[in-house]
């Protein structure tokens, strides 16, 4: 792990949460990793109390779970959770893409082009974390044009909840040496936004999430099958 030590302040609990949360989001604390309070507090330079509070908050977010005789671990992968998360994402993001495209402007398109270029560079560099950050930035530009802050907030919450799944899918595509699945739908989405075709943007968004669901499912099912 490579988490920075926490500087003393009134926000120690928040800093600890943010540090562990970031480590999970970036894959430094992978799915199944035990969240040992003593180890984490030693690395961050704090007492165990703020670490315990951070783990509780992570459990509430669905990023960690308590396992008998092991304590808390970074939440692992299940086919059921994947399908449930991505089904909800599909409903919300299709609406956000449709609404956002209908309200998009030249500025929207310019910002999406910038983020898409960064996505291409991340794929070329085989950097799945940077790719996901840029992909979410690309989509957020469009979704924020929906003028529905609650919708965007719910989508962002789901992105956090399924980050481990998203990371697994991006790593799988990059390991195969084929970045096309990570760029093709977003390239098509950008074209739909440029054309002002809101209906097409919604369709492409749904197809993109369906494709990701299949890719990630193929990655987690062999492990699940081995335990049957």
Task: Output the CA–CA distances (angstroms, integers) from residue 20 to 31, 43, 44, 64, in the order listed.
Answer: 13, 11, 9, 11
Domain extents for the chain? Answer: 12-74, 79-226
Q: What is the spatial distance between Cα 60 and Cα 65, in angstroms, rounded to a whole number? A: 9
Instruction: State residue 227 phi and psi, 5-degree precision.
Output: -95, -5
103-133 residue pLDDT tens: 999 999 999 999 999 999 999 999 999 999 9
> Of 178 and 153, which is predicted with more confidence?
153
Residue 25 contacts residue 163 (beta carbons within 8 Å):
yes
Tokens 């909800």, residue located: 88
Q: What is the spatial distance between Cα 140 and Cα 152, in angstroms, rounded to a whole number? A: 8
Instruction: Indicate the pairing of strand 64-67 with strand 71-74.
Output: antiparallel
Is the pLDDT reported for residue 10 higher than 90? no
Q: What is the spatial distance between Cα 19 and Cα 17, in angstroms, rounded to a whole number? A: 5
And the tokens for 228?
Answer: 């049957």
Residue 215 contacts residue 69 (beta carbons within 8 Å):
no
Least confident of 7-11, 104-108, 182-186, 205-209: 7-11
Q: Which CATH architecture has domain 79-226?
A: Up-down Bundle (1.20)
172-199 residue pLDDT tens: 889 888 788 899 999 999 999 999 999 9
Residue 57 contacts residue 24 (beta carbons within 8 Å):
no
Output the pLDDT for position 228. Answer: 40
CATH topology of domain 12-74: Arc Repressor Mutant, subunit A (1.10.10)
């Amino acid at each position: 792990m490579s988490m920075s030590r926490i500087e003393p302040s009134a926000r120690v609990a928040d800093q600890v949460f943010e540090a562990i949360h970031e480590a999970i989001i970036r894959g430094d604390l992978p799915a199944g990793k035990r969240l040992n309070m003593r180890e984490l507090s030693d690395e961050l330079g704090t007492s165990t109390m703020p670490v315990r509070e951070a783990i509780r908050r992570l459990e509430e977010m669905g990023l960690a779970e308590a396992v008998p005789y092991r304590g808390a671990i970074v939440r692992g992968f299940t086919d059921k959770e994947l399908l449930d998360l991505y089904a909800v994402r599909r409903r919300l993001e299709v609406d956000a893409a449709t609404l956002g495209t209908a309200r998009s402007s030249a500025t929207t398109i310019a910002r999406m082009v910038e983020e898409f270029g960064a996505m291409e560079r991340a794929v070329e560099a085989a950097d799945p974390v940077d790719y996901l950050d840029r992909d979410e930035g690309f989509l957020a530009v469009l979704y924020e044009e929906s003028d529905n802050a609650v919708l965007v907030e719910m989508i962002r919450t789901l992105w956090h909840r399924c980050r481990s799944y998203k990371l697994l899918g991006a790593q799988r595509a990059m390991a195969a040496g084929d970045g096309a699945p990570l760029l093709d739908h977003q390239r098509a989405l950008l074209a739909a936004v440029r054309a002002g075709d809101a209906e097409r943007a919604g369709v492409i968004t749904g197809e993109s999430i369906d494709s990701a669901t299949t890719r990630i499912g193929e990655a987690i099912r062999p492990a699940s099958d081995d335990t049957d």
